Each structure stands twice: as C-alpha cells, then as structure tokens.
Structure 1
Amino acid sequence: MYTLYIANKNYSSWSLRPWVLMQEAGIPFEERLLPFGDEAAWAPFRALTPAGKVPALVDEGRVIWDSLAIVEYLAERHPGVWPRDAEARAFARSAAAEMHAGFTVLRSFCSMNVGIRVRLRETPPALLRDVGRISALWTEGLTRFGGPYLAGDTFTAVDAFFAPVVFRVQTYGLALGDAAAAYTTRMLDRPSMRLWYTQGLAETLRDESHDAECRTVGEWTADLRAI
C-alpha cells in the first residue's frame, strides 16, 4: 500500500492535491501526518526524501516527491487519473501545470487556512488578475467539456490541483464568474473535500506564521477551528 506524507490539513495546500485525488480515485493509501513545527516528526522524514517537503509518496521503497510527480506516478498505475479523452487530457495537463507553476500572488496573498473566514482589506490588481484568470480557466474547462468537473464528467487530477484554490475562495470570499462559483460549490460538497475540511477544523495545532499571514491581509470574521 502507498504511504502518503502530508502536513496539517488546515494549512497544507500542496498536501491536499494528491490526498484528494487518491480519495476520489479510490486508491488506497496510509496517511502520515507531519505537523508544521514538530521537528521530532520531520527529522526522519528529511532523511527519507531529498527535498524534505510534503507531500511525498512512498511505494515499495520508492520515494516520489512534489505533487505533480506524484500525480504522474499514480497515472502510470491507475486509470482515470487524467481524462481518457485526448483533448480533455491535454487541457487538464496544461491547466494543472499552470496551477503548479503560477498564481504566485494568490498563493502569497491568500495563504491557505481552511478553518477561518477573512474579509480582505484590499484586493491588489495582481490578485484580481490571478483570480480572474482562474475564473476564466475554470469556465473554459466547464464549457468545453460539459462539466460538472473541469475536464468532463469525472473528477481528475486537474480538479485535485485546483482544490486548494476552492478552499481559498471560501476562506477569503473571492469573487468568481457564475460557472466558476457553481464549480466551487460542487467541489466543496465532494465527500473527499468535506472530509479534509472536517479533519482540518478538528486540528488543534496552530502554525503562527501561517495565521499571521492571514491577519496581515484582512479582518478575521470567523474562526471555526477546534479550540
């Protein structure tokens, strides 16, 4: 069985991607949580993987690190990770790669924090561009391939890559077009996304640096996490 190393579900956007994909695809795995700030837990993990970062997948002694590499590794072994249709698959890979490499303003300005709600003090033009591009990209996929997911009627890796953005939309109240907003609602209602969210809310460990980033950009209107 695969072993998937992840960090806190409240904060770790990179960990969410392979986790939600494997949940949706019915790929069994053992989860290993490495809490942010717990050096005792991280020390042996850094000896396991050269990057020393999550997520990391272990399969029969092989270590695969980086969310995109993990997805491609799984795609070689499990059907349906990427869309079967060639045109949809090309779009899905391109969109996932764009997410993997881009949207740096959204990442830095709207740090992932699933358990809180934040009213932004301002929306810089660069952030609006990132959000607008995501809205357009989602709308394109939904329109071209008929939905309800980004590359057709099945949840695939491209949906997993944008899953952290879905939580950011909820946390920060980001404005999207109608089709993209409806997609956000559908994604938040997926059993796998609800499970990640519920388990994130139940976490009691707080990473002060992540929380501080969220305080600098806006007013917290709710903190739904366990005390």
Structure 2
Amino acid sequence: MPEATLTISSKTYSAWSLRGWLMCRLAGLEVIEKPVVNDAANRAELLLLSPSVLVPRLTYDGASVWDTLAIAEFLNEEFPEAGLYPKDRIARAHCRSIAGEIHSGFTNMRSALPMNLKVRHERFPVFSGARPDIERVETIWSECLSTWGGPFLFGAEPTVADAMYAPVATRFITYAVAVSAPCLAYCKTVTEWAPMAEWIAAAKAEPEEMEELEVEF
C-alpha cells in the first residue's frame, strides 16, 4: 500500500483534524501524521500544500486532498469495502446529508463551545444563540438512533457521520451541555470508540504551546 500522510493541527483543539483522522481510521488507512503549529513558517509551508490553508490534508498515492468531506469521498472511492457510508441507499443519503449539515453550519455552537479535550466544566454558561444549534444536533442524533438502532448513528458500526459529529460529542461532555439520555449515551459511545480514545489520550499528552491553526472550529 502506498505511504499516506495526514497534515493535522492540534489534537486538543482541532475538530477538523480529528474528523479527517477518524475517516482514515474508518478506511483502514494507516497515516503518518504531520503536525503543524500556528507560526509564520509553518503557515507558509501549509499554504504551499493546501490553498485553503485548512487542515487536515491527506496525501496518498499521488493525490492531495483537503476538506473533510472531500477526504471522506476520496477514501470511499479508494476503499469501497471499508464501510465509510451505510450500505443501504436511503441510510447512505441521510448520512451524506447530516455530514454536510455539520460541515457547513452550526456556527454559533462552534463559537460558543470550541473543542478542548484537556478541560472539563461542571457548569458552563451556554450562549443563548447556540441553543438552536444544540437542539438541531439533538434532533439529528435522536432521529438516527431511533431509526437505525444505535449505538452509532447508522447502527452497529461507525460511519462518516460519526466522524463528523465526534467533536460535537466531546464539546457536549467538555461543557456539560444538558442533552437527552439517548444523546448522552451516544456521546459516551463516541468517546469510548477506540480511535477516539487514542486521539483523546494523545491530546492530553500534547504540549501546551501547540495552538489552533484553523479559521474554523
């Protein structure tokens, strides 16, 4: 198998890096991680790699792919038997739709509850403007869990949708966001998922001076 590298930012703060990394794990693709930090030299280097200046960026077998959904589609083409998307046509369409929704929306929630895997708040004042986003996430999760039976959004095995919503699950836990029992159980499922547990452990061991590179959370 050709060598694969994944350019990522902070494991503590970078939700998009986490999503791309989880997708590689879903595909069964072992990657060499290439961390970058937010200084002028590394930003200039990243500009040469990715015109969007965003991470993650996957390099594999001559291809260079950035943007998490682009990575998901690329990996699905390269590893069609890996199960990144549900086999059922209707479930697959739904998976793509909710993945696209988190990719392009929920701005208030992202701003109010940035990902931080090193802290845990027992109480945290949630900006009222973020409430509709939180409620929408709960609706998405509840519909998926009731329709496809859990414990992941589309049944027994994780998919692209779980990779996309994994950082949201960590936010709800970090900031003690009050959600329904099924949604809280889903957060537990996600954080106990073996790749997630590995990422969280690495985040906690990460040097404090590493900073977030992305323009989005």
Tell me the TM-score normalised to structure 1 length. 0.86
- Match of 1:174? 177
Give 1:207 shift: 5.5
Deviates more, 1:95-104 or 1:14-23: 14-23
Match of 1:108 among 83, 107, 111: 111
- Match of 2:41? 40
* Counterpart Cα distance in 2 of 1:96 and 1:208: 26
Ranges in structure 2 where 5+ consecutive residues have no aligned partner: none
- Report the 3-state secondary structure (helix = DSSP H, G, I; strand = E; otherwise coil) of the residue aligned with 1:116: coil
- Report the 3-state secondary structure (helix = DSSP H, G, I; strand = E; otherwise coil) of the residue aligned with 1:180: helix
2:15 aligned with 1:13: yes
- Report the 3-state secondary structure (helix = DSSP H, G, I; strand = E; otherwise coil) of the residue aligned with 1:57: strand
Task: Give, as a single letter, the amino acid of the residue that structure 2 aligns with 1:21.
Answer: M
- Match of 1:61? 62
Q: Structure 1 residues 32, 209: CA separation in 2 closer, same or farther (over 3 Å shift)? A: closer
2:82 aligned with 1:70: no
* Counterpart Cα distance in 2 of 1:84 and 1:209: 36
* Counterpart Cα distance in 2 of 1:119 and 1:16: 24
Task: Give, as a single letter, the amino acid of the residue that structure 1 aligns with 2:25.
Answer: Q
Ranges in structure 1 where 5+ consecutive residues have no aligned partner: 211-227
2:156 aligned with 1:159: no
- Match of 1:189? 192
Contact 2:124 2:176 in 1 (8 A): no
How many residues are paired up?
209
* Counterpart Cα distance in 2 of 1:133 and 1:73: 28
* Counterpart Cα distance in 2 of 1:184 and 1:209: 23
- Report the 3-state secondary structure (helix = DSSP H, G, I; strand = E; otherwise coil) of the residue aligned with 1:143: helix
Task: Give, as a single letter, the amino acid of the residue that structure 1 aligns with 2:18.
Answer: L
Q: With CA pairs under 8 Å and 6+ residues apart, which has the higher RCO, 1 or 2?
A: 2
Give 1:166 shift: 1.1
- Report the 3-state secondary structure (helix = DSSP H, G, I; strand = E; otherwise coil) of the residue aligned with 1:118: coil
User: How far does the alpha carbon of each residue in 1:12-60 deviate from its partner, in whole angstroms, 9 at most, with x for none?
Assistant: 001100101222432222111112x233333222112211221111123
* Counterpart Cα distance in 2 of 1:121 and 1:204: 25
* Counterpart Cα distance in 2 of 1:17 and 1:181: 20
Where do 1:13-32 residues align within 5 Å? 13-32=15-34
Give 1:88 shift: 1.0
Contact 1:5 1:54 in 2 (8 A): yes
RMSD of aligned alpha carbons: 1.8
Give 1:209 shift: 7.9
- Report the 3-state secondary structure (helix = DSSP H, G, I; strand = E; otherwise coil) of the residue aligned with 2:65: strand
Larger strand fraction of residues: 1
- Report the 3-state secondary structure (helix = DSSP H, G, I; strand = E; otherwise coil) of the residue aligned with 1:170: helix
* Counterpart Cα distance in 1 of 2:8 and 2:202: 13
Contact 1:82 1:157 in 2 (8 A): yes
Task: Give, as a single letter, the amino acid of the residue that structure 2 aligns with 1:191.
Answer: A
Contact 1:88 1:152 in 2 (8 A): no
Identical counterparts, % of pairs: 37
* Counterpart Cα distance in 2 of 1:48 and 1:121: 38
Tell me the TM-score normalised to structure 2 length. 0.90
Match of 1:146 among 146, 149, 168: 149
Deviates more, 1:163-172 or 1:57-66: 57-66
Contact 2:13 2:212 in 1 (8 A): no
- Report the 3-state secondary structure (helix = DSSP H, G, I; strand = E; otherwise coil) of the residue aligned with 2:59: strand
- Report the 3-state secondary structure (helix = DSSP H, G, I; strand = E; otherwise coil) of the residue aligned with 1:179: helix
